[in-house]
Chain A
Amino acid sequence: MSKGNIFAVVLIVAAFFVGRHWFADTPTVMTDSRSGAGYSGGAESTGSARSGLVRAIHTAPRTGTVHEVREGELIMDKVKVAEPGDTILVYPGSYSETVYIDKDNIRLSGVIEKGQRAVLDGKGHLNDAVLYSGNDIVVENLLITKYKGNAIMGQAGNNFEIRNNIIVDTGVYGIFPQLGKNGIVTHNVISGIEDAAIYVGMSDNIHVAHNQVFESVAGIEIENSRHAIVENNYVTNNTGGILAFITPGLPVKTTYDVIIRNNFIVGNNHPNFGAPGSTVAGIPPGTGILIMAADEVVVEGNIISDNKTAGIIITDHNNAPNTTIDPESDPAPDKVAILDNLMHNNGYDTIDEAKALMLTEFKTGNPDIVRVGVSRDSCIINRHQYVTVGVDNWAECGFTHTGDIMTYLLDKPVEPREIDPSEVGKVAYLGICAGCHTYTGRMIGPPVQVIQALYMDNAQGLADYIANPVKKRDDYPEMPPQDYLDATTRLAVAEYMLSVSK
């Protein structure tokens, strides 16, 4: 070791002791969270009168026709004849098709007999398994595997229930409600997804509970959404466990009022296999919870252990990997509240950025909580329990639990969205395309501003492409064909895509 190096080390060590001496004298604040004030939820939420288990939205007995589908038949044939209020029962067997439900109030239900399920098998070449654009849709009891795009994608449908499905090794998103209000995602088992196993996009009043998600790049992602509860999930061996994000460049610019509670977030150390350059490809393996730019995120009662980079990372857009700035989104995660959580053995093989931050605070040990960039009005209780960096100056929270909030689901289903014919293109854009395309950034597909440069005013060319996409980029997945939309809608969405400016 050269003299200069020795000197530097001596300085660091000295600074370390000085730092401890100066800062360690503040008495430990211990907060008893078994009582005390409760979190009152987001300002705009309606507060639900529900009590007991949150299991369903549609509880009234069903009176519509029951259509039965057996192996050898097409589910889609029954969807075509079904009327709102009907149930489609799919018996065990193998089905290889894309089911597209564009009417309201349909229940698509697998029949499970002696453990045998209806299997939707994409065989590695089909893109999406179940797509719905209707309201009041239930999708349950299916086994979905080997699709390239999405297993279950909601496109602007409200009051959805997606439950009891097993999803293995299907493309980019497992369960993906986009632009929906009042919906449930519970008791699903999902693995092997290249982006998010459960991705709630641009939605409101959502309940994600009792799911098992593993071996995916992102476990559960709440993105550009509000009033969401993520609870009682088992989230293990993903690259990142639970994410609350604002993704820049989407038409909805905020994420707030998200409660992440009572989940097991354990050993999320899976190598990152997201498409290189995409947002999720920047998640460091070993991230338990990642809060990026989202506001009013409450983290309570989780068991967060064995995540090698950190238990919780809180970052603004400026410090997040693969992320650019959206002038219309506040890049800072504000009013984050970290209540009691069991954190253990996190951060044992962390990233250099976290180590460097720790050095600036003269901290040692393996970080449970890492905050980078700006975060305003955030709070924490019982901070002495964790190894933290970046939260020393956070306030004590004014509440200790979220027990007063059972759910953000609404007391009554919301009205179906009325779609004016002039808005067909816009709704399709928000409900479908914005799931994979942001205006400025690379999500699953290329940014819309790039598409605008490529197509300029050639809406027909764009409409033709989405009906029958060809692969153009080695480092992107394939774009799923949108041929389930009629030609008028395709042209309308193409025109809309070329006209948006943010």
Chain B
Amino acid sequence: MPKTVMQLVLIGFAFLSLSVLADPAKVYTTCAACHGDKGQGNPQLQGPVLAGLSGEYLTRQLQAFQQGKRGQHPQDVPGQQMAAMAKSLLSEETDLAALSAYIEQMPLPQQSTRLSGDLKSGNAYYQNNCGACHGGQGQGNPAFQAPRLAGQDSDYLRRQFMYFKRGIRGTDKSDKPGRQMAMMANTLPDDKLNDVLAFIGSL
């Protein structure tokens, strides 16, 4: 085969694989087992809701998993699983922005969990300690890179909150949003977390 043809074939092959990797819908099929086909989450596998999260936040989390800033702590088993997925399912060539944009436009999930708790106290502590970054309705606020909390699984939120509090997530020097959240995790009295989660679940 002449060299130029060979080169063309090679380029064509590279192009093909790139386009597969770049097709977010196809990439997402590998995520669906743990996060649901519509990003609605899968509590059995501890996979959180992804629908409703912003593209910016999704990309940042995927990079954090890939770069070992999240999901490498020995006590964070679900995080380790996700970190492994981020390294195996996604490669250097994956267009993370496109994948995140694809997930971002998934419709908001229907309310799943209803935790019981004191909603009045939950509202008070949420509005005073959390709402200034996550929004009064738990809708998230891109100005602070703070993700949507409304609609997220309560067990997942509790786990992440405790990770921040116990220094398992949000410790890396370069992870400013994570460190900001970790500071806030220390401001909530322990006995109010359940009320706050119940309030978020009611939004």
Contacts and interface: CB of A to CB of B under 8 A. Distances in A.
A322 B135 contact: no
14 contacts: A276-B136, A278-B127, A322-B128, A325-B189, A441-B128, A442-B132, A447-B132, A449-B129, A452-B183, A453-B183, A454-B133, A454-B180, A473-B135, A474-B136
Contacts of A473: 132, 135, 141, 143
A448 to B, nearest CB: 10
B144 A472 contact: yes
A277 B125 contact: no
Given A453-B180, A473-B143, A440 B120 contact: no
Interface in A462-497: 472-476
A11 interface: no
Given A440-B187, A456-B180, A473-B143, A324 B135 contact: no
Nearest to A445: B132
Given A442-B128, A450-B132, A473-B143, 19 more contacts: A276-B136, A277-B123, A277-B131, A277-B136, A321-B124, A324-B129, A442-B131, A442-B132, A449-B129, A449-B183, A452-B183, A453-B181, A453-B183, A454-B133, A454-B144, A454-B180, A456-B180, A475-B135, A476-B132
Contact of B129 (A321, A447, A456, A476): A447
B128 A324 contact: yes
Interface of B: 120, 123-125, 127-129, 131-133, 135-137, 141, 143-144, 179-181, 183-184, 187, 189
Nearest to B136: A475
A111 B179 CA distance: 56
A322 B132 CA distance: 14
A155 B76 CA distance: 49
A474 B144 CA distance: 13
A450 B132 CA distance: 7
A323 B125 CA distance: 8
Contacts of B135: 473-475
A248 to B, nearest CB: 9
Contacts of A442: 127-128, 131-132
Most buried by B among A323, A325, A454, A472: A454
A325 B121 CA distance: 11
Contact of A322 (B123, B183, B187): B123
Contacts of B189: 325
A84 interface: no
A446 interface: yes
B170 to A, nearest CB: 11
Contacts of B124: 321-324
B145 to A, nearest CB: 10
Interface in A98-118: none
Contacts of A323: 124
A278 B125 CA distance: 11
Interface string A307-325: 0000000000000011111
A213 B181 CA distance: 41
Nearest to B143: A472
Contacts of A450: 129, 132-133, 184
Nearest to B130: A450
Contacts of A447: 128-129, 132
Closest 10 CB pairs of A and B: A446-B132, A277-B127, A453-B183, A475-B136, A472-B143, A441-B128, A450-B132, A453-B180, A324-B128, A277-B136
Contacts of B128: 322, 324, 440-442, 447
Given A324-B125, A442-B132, A453 B143 contact: no
A446 B144 CA distance: 13
A277 to B, nearest CB: 4
A137 B68 CA distance: 60
A363 B80 CA distance: 59
Contacts of A321: 120, 124
Contacts of B184: 449-450, 453
A324 B143 CA distance: 25
A59 B128 CA distance: 45
A313 to B, nearest CB: 15
Interface in A328-362: none
Contacts of A472: 141, 143-144
A335 to B, nearest CB: 26
B131, B135, B189 — which one has the most chain A CB atoms within 10 A of its CB? B131
A40 B83 CA distance: 70
A476 B133 CA distance: 11
Contacts of B141: 472-473
B177 to A, nearest CB: 10
Contacts of A440: 128-129, 187
Nearest to A323: B124
Nearest to B176: A456
Contacts of B120: 321
Contacts of A322: 123-124, 127-128
Contacts of A441: 128
Contacts of A452: 183
A324 B180 CA distance: 21
B193 to A, nearest CB: 13
A321 B144 CA distance: 27
A497 to B, nearest CB: 14
B33 to A, nearest CB: 35
Nearest to B185: A453
Contacts of B144: 454, 472
